[in-house]
């Protein structure tokens, strides 16, 4: 398993696996219930992770210059 | 004249103009009409993929789910983001193969990979069965949005007729080029409207986003988290995974992949598209705001929460702009769905029975099918019907049944044969039909199981049956395939 595949699995683990442990309203973060904030945080992290995957591929000559 | 009405008509005229103008300077052959000559860059692919997500659901269903179901609505944010992660590895090999073999439809891919026109007919049938109710949903949404935003001055029936006519004209003339150009104006509109509503309304009524959530939590304790039973955490996880698998299996989404000019487009878009998903967060904010401000909307009425709250808050010209954005969320995905259904039927069903047809003739048939499909959808939109609601509920589960066969086809030589692929899809689809019509859940099948297993989306069972049958039939027919291929090669006859 390459590093980029492990990175690709991270959003699945964080978003789906994590929700079971954070299913509560408080503390509010950025005005949102904690469980909603958790999902939103992982949406943003997904974007950053895919940027990293692109960069890794770019070094292999396969990715897009961003 | 009502300013909302003027704004609605201006945007309808603008989208029709852009849709027709899009074909200028292009020889609108089959490849141009369906996949834009495979020349779309990152921006158009972004708009087409995003445009297919931000449908009337964004306006009506997203806020409606937040209003009536609470936390389970969060699943939409999760599955769309994760589908983009999957697309990084899934779409490039599909695009490469499609470009090499000049494919224009989803069924083409299955036909070519498994060397089976009959499998193409099955895939087309599943696709069209899923598309028609989805298209009707867009038209119904269009009727509701225009009628509400015009303060009832335009009846839903008239709104649907006008919308369907506009879409039919620009799909016939410009194909995917029309969809791409109207997507430009739609996405600009919806971005500003949704972000404005999602921030303004909570601040206007509660003084902020957190006070709004605190008020909802006080009025409806437990509404903002996943319940212990029903739409629980295990429902969330299983539903997200199923919809991630099904996301690119919709024929119109799959088809839009073919229109990219290179495979880097998909990789680049995986960075930006998840962030674009956050627009739905603002739609949820509107739905949650409406809970205490326009209480009492029952069942499907919850889908009107965004429009009702907007009409209560703003002047008609602002409501007109909101309605115009909603109108565009029906037109763009509607045009893609219409074009895809026509292409599937012309290329992968009619062409199989009339194999001598030239590509030019198939193109003419596809364009001719557009008004026919429009009229069928118009009939169902205006007459309603329970069968259609059932089909719509099945839509996502139906297209998800194509995922295992697609996945197994990605290696240079498919991991299962065409008999296995056909049997797996057929059994998966039949299981989906049974569990939907009989209203079966894992809980009703196995009542003694613990709640976290009973809450798992029943679509998982259909997918498991699909894969099991696919594997079993592949093993049982492995020798048949080998001898059949040899015989076909000897006789130079086509395989089924």
Q: Which tens digit of pLDDT belongs to each residue from B98-124?
A: 888 878 788 889 999 898 888 998 999
Of A36, A46, A53, the CB nearest to B81: A46
CB contact under 8 A, A16 and B267: no
Residue listed under structure tokens 């029975």: B353
Query: Hey, is the C-beta of A60 within 8 angstroms of any chain B C-beta?
Result: no
Q: Is the peptide bond before B79 cis (omega within 30 degrees of 0)?
A: no
Query: Hey, is the C-beta of A20 within 8 angstroms of any chain B C-beta?
Result: yes
Q: How far is B275 from chain A (nearest CA, A)?
A: 6
Of residues A60 and B209, the one with the higher pLDDT is B209
Cα-based angle B289, B293, B298 (whole degrees, multiple of 5): 95
The C-alpha atoms of residue B437 and residue B184 are separated, in whole angstroms, by: 39
Looking at residue B495, its pLDDT comes to 45
Over residues B125-140, the mean pLDDT reads: 83
Q: How far is B352 from chain A (nearest CA, A)?
A: 38
Per the domain annotation, does B476 fall within a domain? no
Looking at residue B486, its pLDDT comes to 43
Residue B164 domain boundaries: 3-388
CB contact under 8 A, B233 and A63: no
Which residues of chain B neighbour A16 with C-beta distances below 8 Å?
A: 78, 82, 236-237, 240-241
* pLDDT mean across residues, chain B: 81
Helix (H, G, I), strand (E, B) or coil at B279: helix
Per the domain annotation, does B461 fall within a domain? no
Query: Hey, is the C-beta of A52 within 8 angstroms of any chain B C-beta?
Result: no
The yes-or-no verdict on residue B89 having pLDDT over 70 is yes
Which residues of chain A neighbour B224 with C-beta distances below 8 Å?
A: 25, 33, 35-36
Looking at residue B322, its pLDDT comes to 87
Looking at residue B213, its pLDDT comes to 94
CB contact under 8 A, B78 and A42: yes
Tell me: the pLDDT tens digits for B458-475? 888 898 899 999 999 998
Per the domain annotation, does B432 fall within a domain? no
Contact by Cβ (8 Å): B374, B167? yes
The C-alpha atoms of residue B65 and residue B123 are separated, in whole angstroms, by: 31
Per the domain annotation, does B452 fall within a domain? no
pLDDT band at A49 (very low <50, low <70, confident <90, very high): very high
Per the domain annotation, does B479 fall within a domain? no
CATH code assigned at B23: 1.20.1730.10
Which residues of chain B neighbour A44 with C-beta distances below 8 Å?
A: 274-275, 278
CB contact under 8 A, B281 and A28: no
Over residues B40-62, the mean pLDDT reads: 70
- How many interchain CB pairs under 8 A, A with B? 106
Q: Which residues of B201-233 are buried (b: 16+ CB within 10 A; e: fewer)?
A: bbeebbeebbebbbbbbeeeeebbbbbeeebbb
Residue listed under structure tokens 């990715």: A63
DSSP state of A32: B
Per the domain annotation, does B413 fall within a domain? no
pLDDT band at A61 (very low <50, low <70, confident <90, very high): low
Q: Which residues of B touch A (CB under 8 A)?
A: 71, 74, 77-78, 81-82, 84-85, 88-89, 208-210, 213-214, 217, 224-226, 233, 236-237, 240-241, 264-265, 267-268, 270-272, 274-275, 277-278, 281, 284
The C-alpha atoms of residue B55 and residue B51 are separated, in whole angstroms, by: 7
Per the domain annotation, does B465 fall within a domain? no
Of B193-197, B321-325, B393-397, B419-423, minimum mean pLDDT range: B393-397
Query: Hey, is the C-beta of A18 within 8 angstroms of any chain B C-beta?
Result: no
Tell me: the pLDDT tens digits for B438-464? 877 788 877 887 887 888 888 888 988
Q: How far is A6 from chain B (nearest CA, A)?
A: 12
DSSP state of A17: I
Query: Hey, is the C-beta of A6 within 8 angstroms of any chain B C-beta?
Result: no
Tell me which of B74, B223, B271, B278 to substitute to probe the interface with A (most A C-beta atoms closer than 10 Å). B271
Looking at residue B267, its pLDDT comes to 77
CB contact under 8 A, B268 and A66: yes
Tell me: the pLDDT tens digits for B402-437? 999 998 998 887 888 888 999 999 999 999 888 888
Looking at residue B35, its pLDDT comes to 65
Closest CA to B367 of B23, B17, B11, B12: B23
Per the domain annotation, does B165 fall within a domain? yes
DSSP state of B493: P
Residues in contact with A57: Cβ distance below 8 Å, sequence separation at least 6, in sequence order = A4, A63, B267
Token pair, residue B466, equals 């699909």
The yes-or-no verdict on residue B335 having pLDDT over 70 is yes
When divided into structural domains, chain B yields a total of: 1
Over residues B69-92, the mean pLDDT reads: 89
Q: How far is B337 from chain A (nearest CA, A)?
A: 27
Percent share of chain B, pLDDT over 90: 15
Over residues B82-105, the mean pLDDT reads: 87
B369: left (phi over 0), alpha (psi -120 to 50) or beta: alpha
Looking at residue B25, its pLDDT comes to 67
The yes-or-no verdict on residue B496 having pLDDT over 60 is no
The yes-or-no verdict on residue B54 having pLDDT over 70 is no
Tell me: the pLDDT tens digits for A20-46? 888 878 788 989 999 999 999 999 999
Contact by Cβ (8 Å): B257, B52? no
Tell me which of A39, A51, A55 to substitute to probe the interface with B (most B C-beta atoms closer than 10 Å). A39
Looking at residue B482, its pLDDT comes to 61
Q: How far is B87 from chain A (nearest CA, A)?
A: 11
The C-alpha atoms of residue B107 and residue B492 are separated, in whole angstroms, by: 24
CB contact under 8 A, A28 and B210: yes
Looking at residue B489, its pLDDT comes to 46
The 3-class secondary structure across B102-159, one letter per residue, is CCCCHHHHHHHHHCCHHHHHHHHHHHHHHHHHHHHHHHHHHHHHHHHHCCCCCCHHHH
The yes-or-no verdict on residue B487 having pLDDT over 60 is no
Which residues of chain B neighbour A19 with C-beta distances below 8 Å?
A: 226, 233, 236-237
Tell me: the pLDDT tens digits for B247-289? 888 888 887 788 787 787 787 778 888 887 888 889 899 999 9
- As beta bridge partners, residue A32 has A29
Query: Hey, is the C-beta of A56 within 8 angstroms of any chain B C-beta?
Result: no
The yes-or-no verdict on residue B491 having pLDDT over 60 is no
Dihedral sign for Cα atoms in the order A32, A38, A40, A45: positive
Q: How far is A47 from chain B (nearest CA, A)?
A: 5
Percent share of chain B, pLDDT over 70: 86
CB contact under 8 A, A15 and B240: yes
Of residues B431 and B393, the one with the higher pLDDT is B431
The yes-or-no verdict on residue B295 having pLDDT over 80 is yes
Cα-based angle B14, B19, B20 (whole degrees, multiple of 5): 105
Of B217, B224, B264, the CB nearest to A64: B264
End-to-end CA distance of chain B: 61
């Amino acid at each position: 398993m390459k590093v980029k595949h492990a990175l690709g699995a991270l959003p699945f683990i964080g978003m789906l696996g994590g929700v079971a442990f954070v299913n509560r309203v408080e503390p509010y973060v950025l005005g949102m219930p904690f469980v909603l904030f958790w999902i939103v945080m992982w949406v943003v992290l997904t974007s950053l992770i895919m940027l990293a995957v692109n960069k890794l591929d770019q070094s292999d000559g396969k990715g897009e210059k961003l | 004249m009502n300013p909302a009405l003027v704004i609605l008509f201006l945007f309808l005229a603008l989208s029709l103009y852009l849709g027709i103008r899009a074909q200028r300077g292009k020889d609108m052959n089959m490849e141009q009409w369906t996949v834009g000559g495979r020349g779309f860059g990152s921006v158009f692919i972004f708009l087409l993929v995003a445009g297919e997500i931000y449908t009337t659901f964004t306006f009506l269903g997203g806020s409606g789910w937040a209003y009536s179901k609470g936390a389970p609505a969060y699943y939409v944010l999760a599955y769309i983001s994760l589908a983009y992660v999957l697309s990084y590895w899934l779409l490039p090999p599909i695009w490469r193969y499609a470009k090499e073999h000049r494919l224009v439809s989803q069924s083409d891919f299955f036909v070519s990979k498994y060397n089976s026109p009959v499998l193409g007919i099955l895939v087309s049938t599943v696709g069209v069965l899923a598309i028609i109710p989805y298209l009707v949903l867009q038209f119904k949404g269009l009727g509701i949005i225009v009628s509400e935003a015009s303060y009832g001055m335009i009846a839903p029936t008239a709104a649907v007729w006008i919308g369907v006519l506009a879409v039919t004209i620009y799909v016939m003339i410009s194909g995917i080029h029309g969809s791409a150009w109207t997507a430009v104006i739609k996405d600009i509109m919806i971005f500003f409207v949704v972000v404005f509503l999602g921030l303004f309304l909570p601040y206007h009524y509660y003084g902020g986003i957190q006070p709004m959530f605190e008020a909802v939590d006080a009025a409806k304790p437990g509404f903002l988290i996943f319940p212990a039973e029903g739409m629980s955490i295990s429902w969330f996880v299983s539903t997200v995974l199923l919809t991630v698998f099904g996301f690119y299996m919709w024929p119109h989404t799959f088809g839009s992949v073919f229109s990219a000019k290179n495979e880097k487009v998909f990789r680049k878009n995986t960075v930006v598209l998840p962030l674009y998903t956050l627009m739905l967060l603002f739609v949820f904010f509107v739905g949650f705001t409406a809970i205490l401000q326009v209480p009492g909307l029952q069942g499907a009425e919850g889908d009107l929460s965004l429009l009702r709250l907007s009409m209560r808050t703003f002047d008609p010209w602002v409501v007109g702009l909101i309605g115009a954005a909603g109108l565009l969320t029906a037109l763009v995905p509607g045009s893609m769905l219409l074009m895809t259904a026509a292409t599937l039927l012309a290329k992968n069903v009619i062409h199989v029975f009339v194999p001598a047809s030239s590509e030019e003739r198939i193109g003419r048939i596809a364009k001719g099918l557009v008004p026919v499909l429009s009229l069928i959808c118009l009939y169902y939109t205006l007459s309603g019907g329970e069968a259609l609601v059932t089909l719509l509920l099945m839509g996502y589960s139906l297209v998800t049944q194509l995922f295992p066969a697609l996945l197994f086809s990605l290696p240079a030589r498919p991991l299962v044969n065409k008999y296995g692929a056909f049997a797996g899809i057929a059994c998966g689809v039949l299981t989906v039909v049974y569990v939907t019509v009989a209203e079966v859940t894992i809980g009703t099948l196995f009542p003694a199981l613990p709640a976290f297993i009973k809450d798992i989306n029943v679509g998982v069972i259909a997918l498991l049956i699909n894969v099991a049958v696919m594997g079993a039939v592949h093993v049982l027919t492995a020798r048949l395939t080998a001898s059949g291929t040899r015989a076909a090669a000897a006789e130079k006859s086509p395989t089924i």
